[in-house]
Amino acid sequence: MIAISAAGVIAAAMALALVRLFLGPTLHDRLLAAYAFALFACALVAAIAAAARRPDFVDVAIAMALGVFVLLTAAAKFLRYRSFQTALAPRQGEEGARA
């Protein structure tokens, strides 16, 4: 019973994250909302696994969380640098930042 009520709360949080995903003022806000939505989806899968007494679904939730982390970390890097390659030289004005 607790897992079902937790799934309802997680679904409500997913709805709020979805609103933030579509109405976010900046692209980075939308990326964070997508990350939150995906992690709420992983938590929802885990809650459903607890309600259905199927522990193998927890492995699916963990794999989803790992995949989401890798995918959205790459997306955040792309949004920051507009490339997946590392910078060979510091940007203009960043010479003293590393010292």
pLDDT of residue 90: 65
Q: Domain count for the chain, please give it.
A: 1
Report if residue 43 sits inside a domain: yes
pLDDT of residue 27: 87
pLDDT of residue 36: 93
Supply 86's token pair. Answer: 């590392």
CA dihedral 67, 68, 74, 80 (to 10 degrees): -170
Supply 99's token pair. Answer: 């010292």
Give Cβ neighbours of residue 90 (< 8 Å, ≥ 6 apart): 97, 98
Residue 60 sits in which domain range?
2-82
pLDDT of residue 95: 59
Report if residue 65 sits inside a domain: yes
Maximal C-alpha separation, the chain: 58
The DSSP string of 26-47 is SHHHHHHHHHHHHHHHHHHHHH
Report if residue 33 sits inside a domain: yes
pTM (2 d.p.): 0.74
pLDDT tens across the length of the chain (99 residues): 888 899 899 999 999 999 999 998 888 889 999 999 999 999 999 999 989 999 888 999 999 999 999 999 888 888 887 766 666 666 676 555 554
pLDDT of residue 14: 93
